[in-house]
Amino acid sequence: MSAPALSADDSGLYCAAGDFHIDPWRPVKRAIITHAHGDHARPGSDAYLCAEPGRLPLVLRVGDRVQTLAYGQQLTINDARVSLHPAGHVLGSAQVRVEVGGDVWVVSGDYKRQADPTCDPFEIVSCRVFISESTFGLPVYRWEPSGFVMNELVDWWQNNADAGRPSIVLSYVMGKTQRIMASLASLVDCEGRLFAHGALQKMNEAYRASSVYLPTAPNPLEVGDGYDFSKAIILAPPSVAGTPWMGRFKRGVTARASGWMRVRGRRRRLALDRGFVLSDHADWPGLLCTIFETKAERVVLTHGNSTVLARYLSERGLPAEALTLDRWGEQEEQE
């Protein structure tokens, strides 16, 4: 039996045949990055490789030592053949297919199966071993279709506007924010009513420069004193909750858009007016159908609730194990 194509070392997932890491949390010689979220893309490595549409967001994180590969294009790195395939998670997110001596492994990175106007849809890649994320790997996590949730959000905004109250939506800097912006623009005219906190502007620009259509959303601090936000919707990172920044929006109501909003306690603890269950990760049915569709003979689970899902799969005859990669456990990044 030859050595496994991928194994965990103290920097992350390592491919010995190719001498590279996937999403390492320590600086390494060569890093393949599934996507530019902070828990997957860490600065300091000598060289980075990502899918072509993900280049600009990754440069914001790690600087410009970034090479790219088009989705589906093959690259030989030492004794490994590597290709990247859409993961449907955020702009440029990729699954990494690694083939060593005819043995095929796929690392999913973060992924979702729902439609998202800001990135390419998830693609099934057959493999013998599938390393899947399992952030929302409990049966309680089931998402409504995105269109349904976005219509709820528009209704909430409209009701607030009728009452003369600004709507503030807390959403993660990369991915969720742009998904909401693009989806809103497809449903209503946002002109002059949509704003984005200053901390979101750079990533919005990176998306626009990558040919993703986003509606105009100026920084609310730059529209002049006395501006009337009573009919506006303002996107902001979750970190602004409870800070003086919120004071600018008199009688503002706050919502958060995240998979975690499925858990009622979280919404209450964060003192939110509304929680919209909108996630960039696969839900429980999404994880299951993906895992079975890859036709993998073995499944390795990372992130989140991996033990429950591993047991569920094993009981159905699919060998599965949980792999704890501690440094990936930053849940704030897992929307």
**Cβ neighbours around 124 below 10 Å, total:** 14
**Cβ neighbours around 101 below 10 Å, total:** 11
Contact region for Zn ion (CB under 5 A) — 5-13, 38-46, 215-223, 245-253?
A: 38-46
3-state secondary structure of 273: coil
Contact region for Zn ion (CB under 5 A) — 103-111, 120-128, 211-219, 291-299?
A: 103-111
Q: Is 42 in the site for Zn ion (CB under 5 A)?
A: no
CB of 121 to Zn ion, least distance (A): 16
Contact region for Zn ion (CB under 5 A) — 32-40, 66-74, 79-87, 204-212?
A: 32-40
Of 30 and 281, nearer to Zn ion (C-beta) is: 281
Taking CB under 5 A as the criterion, the residue among 37, 97, 176, 179 binding Zn ion is 37
Of 99 and 110, nearer to Zn ion (C-beta) is: 110
Of 79 and 333, nearer to Zn ion (C-beta) is: 333
Contact region for Zn ion (CB under 5 A) — 34-42, 55-63, 184-192, 214-222?
A: 34-42
Contact region for Zn ion (CB under 5 A) — 30-38, 114-122, 144-152, 307-315?
A: 30-38
Q: Which helix (H) or strand (E) holds 306?
A: helix 306-315
Residue with token string 């297919």: 97
3-state secondary structure of 214: coil
Of 37 and 61, nearer to Zn ion (C-beta) is: 37
In whole angstroms, what is the distance from residue 153 CA to residue 186 CA?
A: 13
CB of 303 to Zn ion, least distance (A): 6
Q: Are 38 and 57 in contact (CB under 8 A)?
A: no
CB of 40 to Zn ion, least distance (A): 6
Q: Are 92 and 59 in contact (CB under 8 A)?
A: no
Of 109 and 252, nearer to Zn ion (C-beta) is: 109
What is the distance, to the nearest Å, from the Cα of residue 55 to the centroid of all Cα atoms in its chain? 15
For residue 116 the two structure tokens come to 């998202």
CB of 200 to Zn ion, least distance (A): 16
Q: Are 112 and 287 in contact (CB under 8 A)?
A: no
Binding to Zn ion (CB under 5 A) within 304-323 occurs at: none
CB of 109 to Zn ion, least distance (A): 7
In whole angstroms, what is the distance from residue 52 CA to residue 36 CA?
A: 12
In whole angstroms, what is the distance from residue 118 CA to residue 28 CA?
A: 30
Contact region for Zn ion (CB under 5 A) — 106-114, 192-200, 217-225, 267-275?
A: 106-114
Helix axes of 198-209 and 55-62: crossing angle, nearest 10 degrees: 140
Of 233 and 278, nearer to Zn ion (C-beta) is: 278
Burial (0-12, 13-18, 19+ Cβ within 10 Å), 298: middle
Helix axes of 306-315 and 284-293: crossing angle, nearest 10 degrees: 50
Q: Are 325 and 39 in contact (CB under 8 A)?
A: no
CB of 249 to Zn ion, least distance (A): 29
CB of 61 to Zn ion, least distance (A): 12
Taking CB under 5 A as the criterion, the residue among 18, 53, 95, 110 binding Zn ion is 110
Of 252 and 259, nearer to Zn ion (C-beta) is: 259
Largest CA-CA distance found in the chain, in angstroms, rounded? 71
In the complex, the residues that contact Zn ion under the rule CB under 5 A are 37, 39, 110
